[in-house]
Amino acid sequence: MSQLPEQPADTSIPTSADVARLAGVSRATVSYVLNNNTTVRISESTRRRVREAASDLGYVPHAAARSLRAGHTRTVLLPAAHVPAGPLQQRFFIDLQSDLRRLDYTVVQYGSGGLDPDEAARAWAELRPVAVVSPVGMALTRVGIGVLTRSGAKAVITLGPQPVDGAHALVMDQREVGSCAVRHLLSGGRSRIGVVMPQEPGLAPFSEPRLAGALRALDETGADARIQPLPLRYEEASAEDLAARWRSLGLDSVFAYNDEYAMLLMRALQDAGVEVPGEVAVIGADDLMLGRLLRPRLSSVRMELATAQPLAEMIDRLVQHPGGAPERHYLLRARAVARESG
Segment 6 to 25, residues that bind a copy of itself, using CB under 8 A: 6-8, 10, 12-14
Segment 144 to 163, residues that bind a copy of itself, using CB under 8 A: 145-147, 149-152, 154
Segment 306 to 325, residues that bind a copy of itself, using CB under 8 A: 321-325
Q: Does 335 bind a copy of itself (CB under 8 A)?
A: no
Nearest approach, Cβ of 194 to a copy of itself (angstroms)?
A: 19
Q: What is the C-alpha separation between 232 and 200, in angstroms, rounded?
A: 9
Report the residue number, 218 or 318, with the smaller CB distance to a copy of itself: 318
Among 27, 103, 166, 205, binds a copy of itself (CB under 8 A): 166
Rg (alpha carbons) of the chain, rounded to whole number: 27
Among 293, 307, 335, 338, binds a copy of itself (CB under 8 A): 293
- Strand order of the β-sheet with 328-330 is 75-77, 131-134, 155-160, 168-171, 328-330
Report the residue number, 151 or 309, with the smaller CB distance to a copy of itself: 151
Segment 23 to 42, residues that bind a copy of itself, using CB under 8 A: none
User: In b/e form, how buried is each residue of 235-270, taking b as 16+ CB within 10 angstroms?
Assistant: eeebbbebbeebeeeebbbbbbbbbbbbbbbbbbbe
Report the residue number, 157 or 211, with the smaller CB distance to a copy of itself: 157
> What single DSSP character describes residue 10?
G
Inter-residue contact 100 to 74 (CB < 8 Å): no
The residues, any chain, with a CB within 8 Å of residue 132's CB and separated by 6 or more, are: 76, 77, 79, 124, 148, 153, 155, 156, 157
- Residue 233 gets the label, from left (phi > 0), alpha (psi -120 to 50) or beta, of beta
Segment 223 to 282, residues that bind a copy of itself, using CB under 8 A: 234-236, 260, 263-264, 267
Residue type, 305: L
Nearest approach, Cβ of 167 to a copy of itself (angstroms)?
A: 8
Report the residue number, 47 or 292, with the smaller CB distance to a copy of itself: 292
Segment 93 to 132, residues that bind a copy of itself, using CB under 8 A: 93-95, 97-98, 101, 106-111, 113-114, 122-123, 125-128
Which residues are 301's β-sheet partners? 285, 336
Report the residue number, 125 or 171, with the smaller CB distance to a copy of itself: 125
Nearest approach, Cβ of 140 to a copy of itself (angstroms)?
A: 11
Report the residue number, 25 or 239, with the smaller CB distance to a copy of itself: 239
Nearest approach, Cβ of 3 to a copy of itself (angstroms)?
A: 4
Which residues are 285's β-sheet partners? 301
Report the residue number, 25 or 268, with the smaller CB distance to a copy of itself: 268
Nearest approach, Cβ of 265 to a copy of itself (angstroms)?
A: 10
Among 62, 226, 247, 317, binds a copy of itself (CB under 8 A): 62
- Triad 272, 277, 283: Cα angle to 5°: 100
Report the residue number, 83 or 186, with the smaller CB distance to a copy of itself: 83
Nearest approach, Cβ of 227 to a copy of itself (angstroms)?
A: 26
- Residue 229 gets the label, from left (phi > 0), alpha (psi -120 to 50) or beta, of beta
Q: What is the C-alpha separation between 283 and 239, in angstroms, rounded?
A: 16
